[in-house]
Structure 1
Amino acid sequence: MVALDIVHASNAQLRELGPGLVALFVGGTSGIGEYTAKAFVRNTVSPHVYLVGRNAAAAERIIHECKALNHDGNVEFLKADVTELGEVDRVCQEVGKREKHINLLVQSQGNMTLKGRDENSEGLDRKFTLNYYSRMRFITNLLPLLRNATSTPPHFSRILSILSAGTEGRVNFEDLELKNTFSRMRCATHTIVMNDFMAEEFAAREPRTSFIHSAPLAVNTGLARELPLWARLPIKALSPLMAPFMVGADETGARQLFIATSGLFPPAKPAGDSVLAAGVPVPKGLSVAKGANGKVGSGGYLVNWNGEITGKEALLKEYHDKGVGKIVWEHTMGIFDRVEKINQAKADVK
């Protein structure tokens, strides 16, 4: 476990990257995304931050609070329902009009719905899309801006997907999108494993950027508000008993920011001459982490809430031997092609 004082010291060094870092927090209007965004604003010089979410009132509150944390920070809200990939595309186009580069992309979008399969207008389950497809679509769309960040000082380019690294399970490769075999448990399992392998696949293709899938442990994110009353009441009643086993808001934000920025998790081939291209310098006594493919410093990492490498080794090795990375990559790109055609047909009708 990386001690919390080491985490805070590392985060404070983000100031050494200089002014004007650009970061996008999808799911940044509540919970873990909010906590991590605030930690970023607190520890950087004149940052430019985008919060992507549905709740304008929450965004207004967070922007006000971030101003108190860093008077020189610029925080903006982009309203979007990213349960649909068309909305993801729209937001990415808007960001592309405003920015020439992005240094950090953090994604924590999700919900706690108890519904069964709930298809959007693109034929994808909304929960599955939040946990997986929207995240990969943001990455794919924003890669040009992330690449641009590696070409100019401080050459810093990182991506963090916060879900549940280390809790992998068996996947149904005959129905990866769970069109016919959906359940909430299968949705969790599929999206966790697919986030794992896409971190590795992207890292192999984009060696100047780090790709990380992390787990936050138990955090009071407020997502329970989306549940029906009969489900919210037991959670509220049990909260005091669960408190000793949960990570607080400030610690969660600090730890996820550390995971997103530390040199423990560098790109495979950091760009430029600056040591900061690999991330904030590795704390004394620690060393560069082993990547998801088993190689130290691979650029794609599975990280637990406490900064330690995670993942069910036996299962992941089995899946590596089966070429699951290629399977998941091709499936994902196929979904994107399919949805693009659906959305283009909608546009043609209009």
Structure 2
Amino acid sequence: MVALDIVHASNARLRELGPGLVALFVGGTSGIGEFTLKAFVQNTASPRVYLVGRNVTAADRIIKECGELNKEGKVEFLKADVSELKEVDRICKEIQKREKKINLIVQTQGNLNLNGRNENPEGLDRKFTLNYYSRMRFIHNLLPELRTASTEPPNFARALSVLGAGHESAMNLSDIDLKTTFSTTRCATHTTVMNDFMAEEFAAREPGISFLHSAPGLVNTGVARELPLLLRGVLKIATPLLLPFYVGANETGARQLYLSSSAIYPPAKPTEGAPLAAGVPFPKDLSVSKGSNGKVGSGGYLANWNGEIVGKEKLLSDYRAQGLGKVIWEHTMEVFQKVEAINEGKIDPATS
């Protein structure tokens, strides 16, 4: 476990990366995304932040509070329902009109509803899309801006997906997108493992950028409002008993920001001669983390809420030997191509 004082000390050094860092927070209008966004604004010099979500009222509040944390920062809200990739593409184009580089992408979008498969107009389940497809689409679309950030001072570029690293279990490889065998449990399993392997796959293809998949721990985010009434009641009763195990809002934001910026999680090949390309320097008694593929400093990392490297090693190793990373990559790119054709009116999602 990375001590909290080390986390705070590291975050306080973010200003050393210089003014004008550009960050994108998707799902940042509540919970973990909001906590991390505020920590980023508070610890950086004149940042430019894009906040993507659905709740205008929450966004207005967050922007006001960020202004009190850092008067030199700028936070702009972009309203979107990113359970549809068409909306992801629209937001990416909006950002690309305004920015040539993006230093950091943090994604926390998702929901806790226990409904069955709920397909969007693109033929994808909305929960699955929030947990996985939309996250990979943002990264895929904005790779040019991440690459630019990695090649221009401070040469820092990173993408963090907050979901369930370390909570892997076996997938149904004959139905990767759960078109016919969907359940909320299987959705959690598939999207967790797929986030794992895509961090690894992106890192192998983009050695100047760090890619992380993290688990936030037990955090009271308010997302339980989407649960059925009975479960909400049970959770309300259980919450006082769980409080000792909760990670508080401020600590959650600080720790996810640490994952987003520490040189303990460097890209595979940081820009030479750029001391901050790997991230904020760490104390001498710490060392660079082991990547998801077992190699130290690989550029793709699976981390727990407390900064420790996680992942079901036996399961992931067996899947890696089967070439699952390549399978997931190819599946994802095929889905993107199909959705592009659907949104261009070239094919009917009902027959695809």
Give the shorter-chain TM-score range: over 0.9
Pairing 1:7-46 to 2, within 5 Å after superposition:
7-46=7-46
For residues 141 and 270 of structure 1, the distance between their equivalents in structure 2, rounded to whole angstroms, comes to: 22
SS in 1 for 2:294: coil
Residue by residue over 1:207-231, the C-alpha shift from the partner in whole angstroms, topping out at 9 and shown as x without a partner, is 0000000000000111111223222
Pairing 1:183-332 to 2, within 5 Å after superposition:
183-332=183-332
Q: Which amino acid in structure 1 is aligned with residue 113 of structure 2? A: T
SS in 1 for 2:142: helix
Q: Which amino acid in structure 1 is aligned with residue 191 of structure 2? A: T
**8 Å contact from structure 2 (residues 27, 110) kept in 1:** yes
Residue in 2 that maps onto 1:78: 78
Number of equivalent positions: 348
**8 Å contact from structure 1 (residues 200, 211) kept in 2:** yes
SS in 1 for 2:24: strand
RMSD across aligned C-alpha pairs, in angstroms? Answer: 1.2
SS in 1 for 2:77: strand
Taking structure 1 as reference, are residues 272 and 153 closer, same or farther at Cα in structure 2, changes over 3 Å only? Answer: farther
SS in 2 for 1:277: coil
Q: How many angstroms does 1:239 deviate by?
A: 1.0
Residue by residue over 1:236-262, the C-alpha shift from the partner in whole angstroms, topping out at 9 and shown as x without a partner, is 121111110110000000000001110
For residues 196 and 114 of structure 2, the distance between their equivalents in structure 1, rounded to whole angstroms, comes to: 24
SS in 2 for 1:311: coil
For residues 198 and 81 of structure 2, the distance between their equivalents in structure 1, rounded to whole angstroms, comes to: 23
Residue in 1 that maps onto 2:114: 114
For residues 122 and 136 of structure 1, the distance between their equivalents in structure 2, rounded to whole angstroms, comes to: 16
Residue in 2 that maps onto 1:128: 128
Residue in 2 that maps onto 1:97: 97
Q: How many angstroms does 1:347 deviate by?
A: 11
Residue in 1 that maps onto 2:155: 155
Residue by residue over 1:252-276, the C-alpha shift from the partner in whole angstroms, topping out at 9 and shown as x without a partner, is 0000000111000000001241110
Q: After TM superposition, which residue ranges in structure 1, 4 or more long, deviate above 6 angstroms?
A: none
For residues 248 and 152 of structure 1, the distance between their equivalents in structure 2, rounded to whole angstroms, comes to: 35
Q: Which amino acid in structure 2 is aligned with residue 343 of structure 1? A: N
Q: How many angstroms does 1:27 deviate by?
A: 0.5
For residues 169 and 228 of structure 2, the distance between their equivalents in structure 1, rounded to whole angstroms, comes to: 28
Q: How many angstroms does 1:339 deviate by?
A: 0.6
Taking structure 1 as reference, are residues 243 and 120 closer, same or farther at Cα in structure 2, changes over 3 Å only? Answer: same
For residues 115 and 226 of structure 1, the distance between their equivalents in structure 2, rounded to whole angstroms, comes to: 10
For residues 126 and 305 of structure 2, the distance between their equivalents in structure 1, rounded to whole angstroms, comes to: 26
Q: How many angstroms does 1:26 deviate by?
A: 0.3
Q: How many angstroms does 1:282 deviate by?
A: 1.9
For residues 221 and 273 of structure 1, the distance between their equivalents in structure 2, rounded to whole angstroms, comes to: 41
Percent of residue pairs identical: 70
Q: Which amino acid in structure 2 is aligned with residue 254 of structure 1? A: A
Structure 2: unaligned runs, 5 residues or longer: none
For residues 53 and 347 of structure 2, the distance between their equivalents in structure 1, rounded to whole angstroms, comes to: 24
**8 Å contact from structure 1 (residues 107, 162) kept in 2:** yes
Structure 1: unaligned runs, 5 residues or longer: none
